[in-house]
C-alpha cells in the first residue's frame, strides 16, 4: 500500500501552533507489506496493535521506531513479567530498575551507580569492535547518571580454546575491551572468563561499570519542562549499527558474519573520554535537566524513553541532527547506533552555555527539538512530519509475554545421569589435580587482565586475580567491592540452582574481601525465548535469582536481558550473570586470598558434601557436562558470609578465599601461589579427615565454603566465632615456607605438588595457547 | 611549590599526579593544553593517558598543543619537567628528550607491577632514593619500548642520563626483567642538562601502601625538595 508522494511544500520548520499535520510517507519509502512487518520483528498481532495505537497505518519511519522500541532489547517483551518477581527494594537503594543504571547509597554521602550490559551479538560478528563498544555503552549508562566511572568488570564466556575461531574471538574481545577502557582511563578491577563448548558459536560478552557521585548529584534520563530544548551531543550520526537493537533480538546463522557487519558499531574511546568529561561538567553546571545515552535504538529510544519517564512529549527535526554523511533518511537517523552520542535536555535559554562546555571538549552540541506537552514522539524532516507516535505506548505499551515452557529432554537426561562411574580419577589423583588446575577455566587469567589498565586513577585496592575487585572511594577510607559470577554449566543443568549459586558465589566473593554484599545488577543471557526449553530455563533462573537475592538481602537494581544467543538453532547455556556490589568501611581492612606467613593455621569454613555434578573435574577429565549441580543452602550461605564479615571486621583473617570452580584443588593452589609478579608463593601442609572420596573432596564444587587463615594466636577466637555463627570450621592444615610444596593428605591418598609445577600449570596454560 | 599538571584531551592520570604532588607537599594546578602560559609554575608534570587519543602515534599531536611552546621555553630556562608514560612519549615527540617509544615487543598493552633500579640519586628527581635501590612500581602502556640510535644511546650511557632501568628482584637489569623490549632496559632518562625527566612506569600510582607500593612517592618529594632548595638559594 504505497502512500502518496510527499510534496515539497510542508510547514516551515519549528513553529506550529495549529493542529500538527499527520506524518506522511516519504518518497522512496518501501510499501508496508506483511513481509516488511515480519522483517521488523513484529508479529501480525503486534502490528495490529500498532495500527490501533496510531489509528492508521504507520509510515515506514514509524514502523522502524516500533520495531526498535518493541524489540526484546528495548522492550523486554519476553522477560518483563518475570523480572517483576525480582526483589528491587532496600533502604539503601536510591534508584531501582528502569533508569540508565541502578544507584545505591554506599555511605558517607556517596552514591554508587552501576550496571551490567551485554554485547554478545556484535562480539560474535566483530569481536574487537563488539567488545569495545560494549564498554563504551556501559560507561555512558553510568556517567549519564552524574556518576564518574571508577571501575569496570567483564564477564566473558567463550567456547573451548582448542578451536581457532574461539581463540580469534577471545583475543579480539580482550583487546577490544582493553583498548577502549585503557584509553578512557577507567581501571578494570575484575570479572570472570569462562570456557566451555556451550559457547562455541555465541560468546557472552558482558561489561559492568561502577561510578561514584555525591548522593545529591544524581540526574535522571528525563525530558522535563515543556519548552526545554533537546540537544544532540557528541559524535555525529552515521549509518553504523542501524537496527542493532533488532539485530540483538534475533538468532545468528551461518554466513551472518559478513551480512551483519553494518549492524556492528565502531567505537572511538577518545571521543568517549571527552564526552565523559563534558557530560560530568554539563551536569555539574546545572544547565541541563536530563541526559541519556543514545545507545540501543539510538535517537529513538533516548527520545522516547526520556519523554516516557517524565510524561511529556518530544518533537525533533532530523534535518537538524549533525550527520556524518549526506542523504541519510529519517529512518536511518532515528535508528542509527553510532557511538559516543548523547541526548541532552537543556533548560530553555541555556543552549549557548551547553554548547560552550561541549566546545571546550572539542565536541558538538546541536539543538534538534524541544520538549512538548503533547505526550507524542513527533519527528520532522525539514519541518515535514515523518513520525508522530504517543510516547507512552512505545515504552509501556510494548506487548509482553509470559510463556511457561518445559525442560528439554536432552538436559534432563544429562542432569539425571549417574556420574558415579566417572568419579574415580582415570590416571591417578595427582594427574587429575594438575589437569583441573591447568584447565583454562581454573588457571590464572593474568594474560587477560594484564592487557587492561588496572591501576589508573590511583584507587585500586584489590586488582583482578582475587575474589573481588575493591576500589577506594577517593578521599575516604571507604571502599566498594564488586564481582561478576555465573557458572554456565550449573545453570544449564539446573537453571534454578545455577542462578541461586551465581548469586551466592558472587556475594561470597565480595564477603571474602571483607565487604558487605549490598545489591545486584544482572545480565541474563539466553537463547530464543520463543522455544519452550529456553522459556523454562529463563523462568527457573529468574526464580532462583529471586530466592537468593531476597534471602541474602541484595536487591536487583537493574541490568539487561539478552535473548537469541543462538546460532543455527543451538543456544548458549543459560547464563544469568550476577554483578554483585559490596561496601567496606575501611580499605585498610581488605582481606586478600593469598596465604601469608609460615605457621598460620588453615581452616575450611562451611560443610563439604562432594558435589561433582556439572564440575570442572567431570568436564576436564571426562568431557562431561552432567549430573545435578551443587545445591545452595541459603541459610548456611548467609551464616557463612556473616561469619566471614565478622572475622574480617575484627581483623582476625590473614587470608580468605572462596571455594568454587575446580573445588578445593583450585582454591588451595591459588592460596599458595598468591599473586603473580608481586607476591611470593608459599607452601601448605593440608590433611583432610573427611571420609568423602578423594575426587569429591578435592574437586567438588559445593557452595558455602571458604578457606581462611589467621595468626596462630587467634586460632581459638576464630573457632569460637565460627561456632557462634553455626558455621562448621575445621582446621585442615598449616601454611609452610616460601617456595615449599603444597602437600595434601586424605584418608586414602597423599599428594606432593611442587610450587614450580603448580605455577607452570596455573600461569602457563592460557599464554601457551594464545601466544 | 606550584606544580603545573598539563592536561590534554585524553589525559587520564592528571588526577593521580595531582594527588602525588599534594602528598609530597606541593601545590598542584591543572593547566589545560590550549593555554599558552604556565602561570608562574615552578615545575611541570606531563601526565599519562592518551593525549588526543594517541591518534597517529602517541604524543604526535600533543606536541602541537598551544601549551607546548611554554613547556619548551620552561625546559630551556632550566625548569624541572617530569613526563610520565604518555607524558614521556609527548616529551620525546616534542624533542625535549631523545629517542622514541615504540610498540611493546609483546604487541600488547601491558599493565602490571615491574621493578626498576635507580641509576642515579644525584638528580633533582631522585635525591630521595639510594643509587642501586630497586623500586616496585606499576607500569601500564602499549608503547613503552624505548629506542634510540646507537650514537644517542651511547651518549645517554656515557653521560649517565639513564635514571631508571628495569631489573629483577636482585637488581640485575637482565633481559628477563625487561617488560617491553626497551634498549638497555631503559625505563627513564633525563636530558643533557638534567632538568627534564621522562619515564614509562608510574610513580604516581605508587604513593600509598594500601594501593600496593609507596616507592613512587620519593620522586615527588625529591622534586618538591629541589624546588624548596632553589627558593632558599
Nearest CA-CA distance, residue B77 and chain A, Å: 30
Q: Give the chain A residue nearest B104 (alpha carbons).
A: A451
Which among A458, A674, A678, A680 is the top mutation candidate for probing chain B, defined by the most B β-carbons within 10 Å of its own β-carbon? A458
- By CB atoms closer than 10 A (0-12, 13-18, 19+), residue A209 is buried
Q: Give the chain B residue nearest A675 (alpha carbons).
A: B113
- Distance in angstroms between the alpha carbons of the first and the last residue of chain B: 14
A73 among known catalytic residues: yes
- Cα–Cα distance for residue pair B87/A197, rounded to 1 Å: 44
Task: Closest CB to A453: pick one of B10, B140, B212.
Answer: B140
Whether residue B210 and residue A588 make contact (CB cut-off 8 A), yes or no, is yes
| Band of pLDDT at residue A252, cut at 50, 70 and 90 | low
| Band of pLDDT at residue A5, cut at 50, 70 and 90 | very low
B206-210 long-range contacts (CB < 8 A, ≥24 apart) are B206/B135, B206/B136, B206/B137, B206/B138, B207/A458, B207/B19, B207/B20, B207/B23, B208/A458, B208/B23, B210/A461, B210/A472, B210/A587, B210/A588
Total domains in the fold of chain B: 1
Task: Indicate the length of chain B as a whole number.
Answer: 233
| Band of pLDDT at residue A16, cut at 50, 70 and 90 | very low
Nearest CA-CA distance, residue A460 and chain B, Å: 6
Q: Mean of the pLDDT values across residues A67-87?
A: 90
Q: Mean of the pLDDT values across residues A108-136?
A: 94
Model confidence at B179: pLDDT above 80: yes
| Band of pLDDT at residue A4, cut at 50, 70 and 90 | very low
Model confidence at A329: pLDDT above 80: yes
Task: Closest CB to A450: pick one of B13, B50, B111.
Answer: B111
Q: Give the chain A residue nearest B136 (alpha carbons).
A: A678
Model confidence at A281: pLDDT above 70: yes
Q: Give the chain B residue nearest A767 (alpha carbons).
A: B106
pLDDT at A404: 83
pLDDT at A12: 39
Model confidence at A311: pLDDT above 90: no
User: Cα angle at B168 between A174 and B124, to 5 degrees?
Assistant: 100
ipTM of the modeled complex: 0.95
Model confidence at A588: pLDDT above 90: yes
B→A contacts (Cβ < 8 Å), by residue, are: 9-10, 12-13, 15-16, 19, 48-50, 52-55, 108-114, 136, 138, 140, 142, 202, 204-205, 207-208, 210-212
Nearest CA-CA distance, residue A451 and chain B, Å: 5
| Band of pLDDT at residue A253, cut at 50, 70 and 90 | low
- Cα–Cα distance for residue pair A602/A599, rounded to 1 Å: 9
Which among A455, A590, A675, A738 is the top mutation candidate for probing chain B, defined by the most B β-carbons within 10 Å of its own β-carbon? A455
Model confidence at A420: pLDDT above 50: yes
Tens digits of per-residue pLDDT, A506-525? 999 999 999 999 999 999 99
pLDDT at A13: 41
Q: Mean of the pLDDT values across residues A463-492?
A: 96
Whether the CB-CB separation of B47 and B201 falls below 8 Å is answered with: no
pLDDT at B58: 93
Task: Closest CB to B55: pick one of A270, A273, A449.
Answer: A270
| Band of pLDDT at residue A725, cut at 50, 70 and 90 | very high
Q: Mean of the pLDDT values across residues A748-753?
A: 96
Nearest CA-CA distance, residue A588 and chain B, Å: 6
pLDDT at B180: 98
pLDDT at A280: 94
Nearest CA-CA distance, residue A474 and chain B, Å: 10
Q: What percent of chain B has pLDDT over 70?
A: 100
Q: Mean of the pLDDT values across residues B34-55?
A: 95
| Band of pLDDT at residue A251, cut at 50, 70 and 90 | low
- A476 and chain B in contact, CB less than 8 A: no
- A475 and chain B in contact, CB less than 8 A: no
A157 among known catalytic residues: no
CATH number of the domain that residue B83 is part of:
3.40.50.880
- Cα–Cα distance for residue pair A705/A524, rounded to 1 Å: 26
| Band of pLDDT at residue B26, cut at 50, 70 and 90 | very high
Tens digits of per-residue pLDDT, B60-114? 999 999 999 999 999 999 999 999 999 999 999 999 999 999 999 999 999 999 9
Grid coordinates belonging to B156: 645517554
Domain extent, residue B23, equals: 2-232
Model confidence at A98: pLDDT above 70: yes
pLDDT at A249: 59
Tens digits of per-residue pLDDT, A24-64? 888 889 999 999 999 898 999 999 999 999 999 999 999 99
Q: At what angle do helices A351-360 and A269-285 cross, to 10 degrees?
A: 140
Q: Mean of the pLDDT values across residues A304-317?
A: 90
Tens digits of per-residue pLDDT, A447-474? 999 999 999 999 999 999 999 999 999 9
Higher-confidence position of A758 and A99:
A758
pLDDT at A309: 84
Q: Give the chain A residue nearest B168 (alpha carbons).
A: A677
- A454 and chain B in contact, CB less than 8 A: yes
Helix, strand, coil percentages for chain A (3-state, nearest 5) = 40, 25, 40
Q: Is the dihedral of CA A72, A165, A577, A700 positive or negative?
A: positive
pLDDT at A20: 79
Model confidence at A246: pLDDT above 80: no
pLDDT at A262: 56
Q: Mean of the pLDDT values across residues A389-403?
A: 89
Whether the CB-CB separation of A587 and A461 falls below 8 Å is answered with: yes
User: Cα angle at A461 between A455 and A465, to 5 degrees?
Assistant: 80
Q: Mean of the pLDDT values across residues A171-199?
A: 96
Whether residue B138 and residue A587 make contact (CB cut-off 8 A), yes or no, is no
Whether residue B10 and residue A183 make contact (CB cut-off 8 A), yes or no, is yes
Q: Which residues contact A439 (CB under 8 A, 6 or more apart)?
A: A616, A619, A620, A662, A765
Tens digits of per-residue pLDDT, A692-716? 999 999 999 999 999 999 999 999 9
User: Cα angle at A336 between A331 and A340, to 5 degrees?
Assistant: 150
Higher-confidence position of B55 and A659:
A659
Whether the CB-CB separation of A495 and A501 falls below 8 Å is answered with: no
Model confidence at A11: pLDDT above 60: no
Lowest mean pLDDT among A109-113, A247-251, B21-25: A247-251
pLDDT at A14: 43
- A457 and chain B in contact, CB less than 8 A: yes
Model confidence at A258: pLDDT above 60: no
Mean per-residue pLDDT of chain A: 92
SS3 label, residue A68: helix
- A547 and chain B in contact, CB less than 8 A: no
Amino acid at each position: 500500500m504505497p502512500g502518496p508522494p510527499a510534496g515539497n511544500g510542508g510547514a516551515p520548520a519549528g513553529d506550529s501552533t495549529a493542529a500538527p499535520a499527520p506524518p506522511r510517507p516519504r518518497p522512496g519509502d518501501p510499501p508496508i507489506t506483511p513481509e516488511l512487518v515480519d522483517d521488523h520483528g513484529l508479529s501480525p498481532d503486534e502490528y495490529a496493535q500498532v495500527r490501533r495505537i496510531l489509528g492508521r497505518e504507520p509510515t515506514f519511519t514509524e514502523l522502524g521506531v516500533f520495531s526498535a522500541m518493541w524489540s526484546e532489547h528495548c522492550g523486554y517483551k519476553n522477560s518483563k513479567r518475570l523480572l517483576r518477581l525480582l526483589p528491587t527494594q532496600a533502604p539503601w537503594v536510591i534508584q531501582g530498575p528502569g533508569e540508565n543504571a541502578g544507584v545505591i547509597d554506599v555511605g558517607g554521602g556517596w552514591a554508587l551507580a552501576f550496571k551490567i550490559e551485554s554485547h554478545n551479538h556484535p562480539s560474535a560478528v566483530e569481536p574487537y569492535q563488539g567488545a569495545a563498544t560494549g564498554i563504551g555503552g556501559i560507561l555512558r549508562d553510568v556517567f549519564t547518571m552524574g556518576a564518574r566511572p571508577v571501575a569496570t568488570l567483564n564477564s566473558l564466556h567463550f567456547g573451548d580454546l582448542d578451536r581457532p575461531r574461539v581463540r580469534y574471538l577471545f583475543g579480539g574481545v580482550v583487546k577490544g575491551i582493553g583498548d577502549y577502557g585503557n584509553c578512557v582511563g577507567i581501571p578494570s578491577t575484575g570479572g570472570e572468563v569462562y570456557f566451555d563448548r556451550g559457547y562455541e558459536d555465541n560468546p557472552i560478552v558482558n561489561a559492568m561499570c561502577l561510578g561514584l557521585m555525591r548522593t545529591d548529584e544524581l540526574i535522571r534520563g528525563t525530558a522535563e519542562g515543556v519548552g526545554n530544548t533537546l540537544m544532540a551531543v557528541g559524535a555525529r550520526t552515521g549509518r553504523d549499527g542501524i537496527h542493532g537493537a533488532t539485530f540483538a533480538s534475533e538468532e545468528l546463522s551461518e554466513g551472518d558474519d559478513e551480512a551483519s557487519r553494518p549492524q556492528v558499531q565502531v567505537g572511538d574511546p577518545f571521543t568517549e573520554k571527552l564526552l565523559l568529561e563534558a557530560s560530568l561538567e554539563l551536569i555539574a553546571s546545572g544547565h541541563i535537566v536530563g541526559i541519556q545515552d543514545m545507545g540501543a535504538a539510538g535517537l529513538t529510544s533516548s527520545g522516547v524513553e526520556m519523554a516516557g519517564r517524565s510524561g511529556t512529549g518530544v518533537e525533533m527535526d532530523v534535518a537538524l541532527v549533525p550527520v556524518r554523511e549526506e542523504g541519510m533518511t529519517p529512518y536511518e537517523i532515528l535508528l542509527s547506533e553510532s557511538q559516543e552520542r548523547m541526548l541532552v535536555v537543556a533548560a530553555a535559554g541555556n543552549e549557548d552555555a551547553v554548547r560552550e562546555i561541549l566546545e571546550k571538549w572539542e565536541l558538538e552540541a546541536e539543538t534538534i527539538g524541544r520538549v512538548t506537552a503533547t505526550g507524542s514522539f513527533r519527528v520532522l524532516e525539514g519541518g515535514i512530519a515523518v513520525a508522530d507516535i504517543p510516547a507512552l505506548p512505545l515504552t509501556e505499551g510494548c506487548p509482553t509475554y509470559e510463556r511457561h515452557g518445559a525442560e528439554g529432554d536432552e538436559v534432563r537426561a544429562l542432569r539425571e545421569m549417574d556420574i558415579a562411574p566417572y568419579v574415580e580419577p582415570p590416571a591417578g589423583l595427582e594427574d587429575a589435580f594438575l589437569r583441573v588446575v591447568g584447565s583454562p577455566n581454573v588457571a590464572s587469567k593474568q594474560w587477560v587482565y594484564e592487557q587492561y589498565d588496572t591501576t589508573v586513577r590511583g584507587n585500586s585496592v584489590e586488582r583482578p586475580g582475587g575474589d573481588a575487585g575493591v576500589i577506594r572511594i577517593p578521599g575516604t577510607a571507604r571502599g566498594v567491592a564488586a564481582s561478576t559470577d555465573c557458572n554456565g554449566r550449573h545453570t544449564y543443568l539446573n537453571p534454578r540452582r545455577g542462578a541461586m549459586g551465581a548469586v551466592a558465589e558472587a556475594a561470597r566473593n565480595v564477603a571474602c574481601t571483607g565487604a558487605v554484599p549490598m545489591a545486584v545488577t544482572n545480565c541474563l543471557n539466553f537463547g530464543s525465548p520463543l522455544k519452550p526449553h529456553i522459556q523454562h530455563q529463563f523462568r527457573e533462573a529468574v526464580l532462583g535469582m529471586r530466592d537468593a537475592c531476597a534471602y541474602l538481602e541484595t536487591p536487583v537494581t537493574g541490568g539487561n536481558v539478552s535473548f537469541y544467543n543462538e546460532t543455527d538453532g543451538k543456544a548458549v547455556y543459560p547464563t544469568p550473570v550476577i554483578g554483585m556490589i559490596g561496601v567496606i568501611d575501611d580499605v585498610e581492612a581488605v582481606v586478600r586470598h593469598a596465604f601469608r606467613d609460615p605457621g598460620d593455621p588453615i581452616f575450611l569454613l562451611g560443610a563439604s558434601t562432594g558435589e561433582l555434578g556439572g564440575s570442572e573435574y567431570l568436564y576436564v577429565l571426562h568431557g562431561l557436562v552432567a549430573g545435578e549441580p551443587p545445591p545452595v543452602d541459603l541459610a548456611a550461605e548467609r551464616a557463612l558470609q556473616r561469619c566471614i564479615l565478622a572475622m574480617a571486621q575484627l581483623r582476625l583473617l590473614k587470608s580468605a578465599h572462596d571455594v568454587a570452580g575446580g573445588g578445593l584443588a583450585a582454591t588451595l593452589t591459588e592460596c599458595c601461589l598468591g599473586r603473580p609478579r608481586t607476591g611470593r608463593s608459599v607452601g601448605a601442609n593440608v590433611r583432610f579427615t573427611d571420609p568423602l572420596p578423594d575426587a569429591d573432596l578435592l574437586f567438588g564444587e559445593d557452595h558455602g565454603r571458604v578457606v581462611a587463615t589467621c595468626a596462630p594466636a587467634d586460632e581459638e577466637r576464630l573457632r569460637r566465632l565460627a561456632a557462634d555463627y553455626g558455621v562448621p570450621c575445621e582446621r585442615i592444615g598449616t601454611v609452610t615456607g616460601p617456595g615449599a610444596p603444597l602437600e595434601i593428605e586424605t584418608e586414602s591418598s597423599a599428594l606432593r605438588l611442587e610450587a614450580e609445577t603448580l605455577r607452570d600449570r596455573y600461569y602457563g596454560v592460557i599464554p601457551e595457547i594464545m601466544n | 611549590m606550584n606544580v603545573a599538571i598539563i592536561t590534554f584531551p585524553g589525559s587520564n592520570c592528571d588526577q593521580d599526579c595531582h594527588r602525588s604532588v599534594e602528598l609530597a607537599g606541593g601545590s598542584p594546578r591543572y593547566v589545560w593544553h590550549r593555554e599558552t602560559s604556565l602561570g608562574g609554575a615552578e615545575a611541570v608534570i606531563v601526565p599519562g593517558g592518551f593525549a588526543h587519543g594517541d591518534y597517529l602515534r602517541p604524543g604526535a599531536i600533543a606536541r602541537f598543543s598551544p601549551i607546548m611552546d611554554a613547556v619548551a621555553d620552561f625546559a630551556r630556562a632550566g625548569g624541572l619537567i617530569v613526563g610520565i608514560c604518555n607524558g614521556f612519549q609527548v616529551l620525546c615527540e616534542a624533542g625535549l628528550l631523545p629517542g622514541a617509544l615504540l610498540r611493546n615487543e609483546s604487541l600488547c598493552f601491558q599493565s602490571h607491577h615491574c621493578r626498576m633500579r635507580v641509576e642515579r640519586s644525584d638528580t633533582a628527581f631522585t635525591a630521595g632514593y639510594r643509587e642501586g635501590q630497586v623500586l616496585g612500581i606499576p607500569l601500564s602502556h602499549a608503547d613503552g619500548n624505548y629506542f634510540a640510535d646507537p650514537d644517542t644511546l651511547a651518549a645517554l650511557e656515557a653521560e649517565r642520563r639513564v635514571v631508571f632501568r628495569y631489573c629483577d628482584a636482585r637488581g640485575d637489569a637482565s633481559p628477563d626483567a625487561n617488560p617491553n623490549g626497551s634498549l638497555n632496559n631503559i625505563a627513564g632518562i633525563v636530558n643533557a642538562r638534567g632538568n627534564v625527566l621522562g619515564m614509562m612506569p608510574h610513580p604516581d600510582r605508587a604513593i600509598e601502601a594500601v594501593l600496593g607500593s609507596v616507592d613512587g612517592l620519593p620522586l615527588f618529594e625529591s622534586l618538591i625538595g629541589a624546588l624548596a632548595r632553589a627558593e632558599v638559594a
